């Protein structure tokens, strides 16, 4: 077994990469939420002056990359790889955004787990000696997701209370082999888990078993205890998924309640009528790269387990009666290397 492997699904970095800068841009609704002061840019119009929501999402993706580069005083030519993904069919947001950047590009699809998937692969590429600088970017957009996955917005379909609200936003992390933290010290890569949930309006429930599996594996692989972390934060379990996840972990003897938050709950106020909470590949990306990294840098949380979760369904799989597989990837972000 390779020397950097810890347990069955976790790797520990010999020279942990640093997140040296980040960029975030969000839509108007996210810009009215409790984390509004932590985002770099807030759109006043979710078309962002473009002719389609898809083009607007693409522009947001580009801007979040550029914001991260600017804050680090780097140019795109300093970047070894751009690693990104989004929720649209054929990840057109990422691919069309990457046209503007003259840089080697890896496209990912992990649904809402993509930010953690990208951070995992990027960290391995840097620690492995293949790159000094990598930008990891994901995005989502309420209006592009809604019409692709569900119904035309004009139809005004009523949303059940278990449903989540896709975050309009894009977040980028700029990772470097040479930095002073926050460091990515461990990653635990998830398996695809499917317990048979079929309700596409209740993705928190579909993703909770995958999140529980990855969290339990992470602690088992590393030997860490809850006390080793100041915060355990999932990507977009939202309220329904959060309680199921806590219950699943409790059954395994693990109580995370006092240290647990979810990006999909943090990003909106309950008054914003988002039902269970936020979701989308952009949700964990903007919360991590906006609010969370600033909390880590200021020492409020010194060591965080960031777990992004994905529901791997498609409208076609749902129409064919399939259940919803979930996946979760965990990344340890710490002020200590």
Residues 183-222 that bind a copy of itself (CB under 8 A): 189-194
Per CB under 8 A, the segment of 119-127, 167-175, 254-262, 275-283 that binds a copy of itself is 119-127
47 makes contact with a copy of itself (CB under 8 A) = no
Binding residues among 231-290 for a copy of itself as defined by CB under 8 A:
none
What phi and psi values does residue 330 have, to the nearest 5 degrees? -115, 140
**What is the C-alpha separation between 235 and 264, in angstroms, rounded?**
6
Which residue, 153 or 192, is less far from a copy of itself as judged by CB?
Answer: 192
| Distance, CA of 210 to CA of 199 (rounded, Å) | 16
Q: Are 44 and 52 in contact (CB under 8 A)?
A: no
CB of 295 to a copy of itself, least distance (A): 28
- Could you tell me if 298 and 151 are in contact, meaning their C-beta atoms sit under 8 angstroms apart? no
* Closer residue to a copy of itself in complex, CB, 240/281: 281
Closest to a copy of itself by CB, 230 vs 322, is: 322
Pair of tokens at residue 35: 């984390």
Q: Does 98 bind a copy of itself (CB under 8 A)?
A: yes
Half-sphere exposure of 82 (CA within 13 A, CB side): 29
Q: Residue 65: name the closest of 82, 44, 87 by CA.
A: 82
Q: Judged by CB under 8 A, which of 19, 26, 60, 111 binds a copy of itself?
A: 111
Answer yes or no whether residue 1 interacts with a copy of itself by CB under 8 A: yes
151 φ, ψ to 5°? -130, 160
Integer Cα distance of 277 and 265 in angstroms: 5
Query: Is residue 109 a contact point for a copy of itself (CB under 8 A)?
Result: yes
Question: Site for a copy of itself (CB under 8 A): which residue of 125, 203, 212, 283?
Answer: 125
Strands 260-262 and 231-234: parallel
Which residues form the interface with a copy of itself (CB under 8 A)?
Answer: 1-5, 9, 11, 14, 51-52, 54-55, 80-81, 85, 87-92, 95-96, 98-99, 101-111, 117, 120-121, 124-132, 148, 177, 189-194, 312-317, 320, 322, 325, 327
């Amino acid at each position: 077994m390779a020397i950097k492997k810890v347990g069955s699904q976790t790797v520990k970095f010999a020279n942990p990469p640093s997140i040296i800068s980040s960029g975030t841009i969000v839509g108007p609704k996210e810009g009215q939420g409790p984390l509004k002061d932590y985002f770099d840019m807030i759109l006043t119009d979710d078309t962002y002056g473009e002719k389609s929501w898809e083009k607007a999402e693409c522009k947001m993706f580009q801007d979040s990359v550029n914001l991260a580069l600017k804050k680090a005083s780097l140019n795109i030519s300093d970047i070894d790889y751009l690693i990104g993904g989004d929720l649209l069919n054929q990840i057109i947001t990422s691919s069309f955004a990457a046209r503007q950047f003259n840089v080697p590009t890896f496209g990912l699809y992990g649904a809402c787990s993509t930010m953690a998937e990208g951070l995992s692969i990027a960290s391995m590429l840097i620690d492995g000696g293949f790159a000094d600088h990598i930008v990891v970017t994901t995005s989502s957009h309420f209006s592009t997701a809604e019409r692709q996955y569900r119904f035309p917005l004009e139809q005004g379909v009523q949303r059940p209370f278990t449903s989540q609200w896709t975050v309009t936003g894009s977040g980028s992390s700029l990772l470097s082999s040479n930095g002073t933290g926050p460091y990515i010290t461990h990653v635990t890569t998830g398996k695809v888990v499917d317990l048979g949930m079929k309700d596409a309006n209740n993705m928190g429930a579909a993703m909770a078993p995958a999140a529980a599996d990855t969290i339990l594996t992470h602690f088992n692989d590393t030997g860490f205890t809850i006390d080793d972390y100041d915060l355990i934060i999932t990507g977009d379990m939202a309220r329904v998924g959060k309680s199921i996840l806590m219950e699943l972990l409790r059954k395994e003897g693990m109580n995370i309640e006092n240290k647990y938050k979810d990006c999909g709950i943090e990003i909106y106020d309950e008054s914003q009528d988002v039902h269970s909470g936020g979701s989308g590949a952009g949700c964990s990306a903007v919360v991590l790269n906006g609010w969370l990294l600033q909390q880590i840098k200021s020492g409020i949380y010194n060591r965080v387990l960031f777990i992004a979760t994905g529901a791997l369904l498609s409208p076609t799989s749902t129409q064919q009666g399939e259940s919803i597989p979930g996946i979760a990837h965990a990344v340890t972000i710490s002020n200590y290397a």
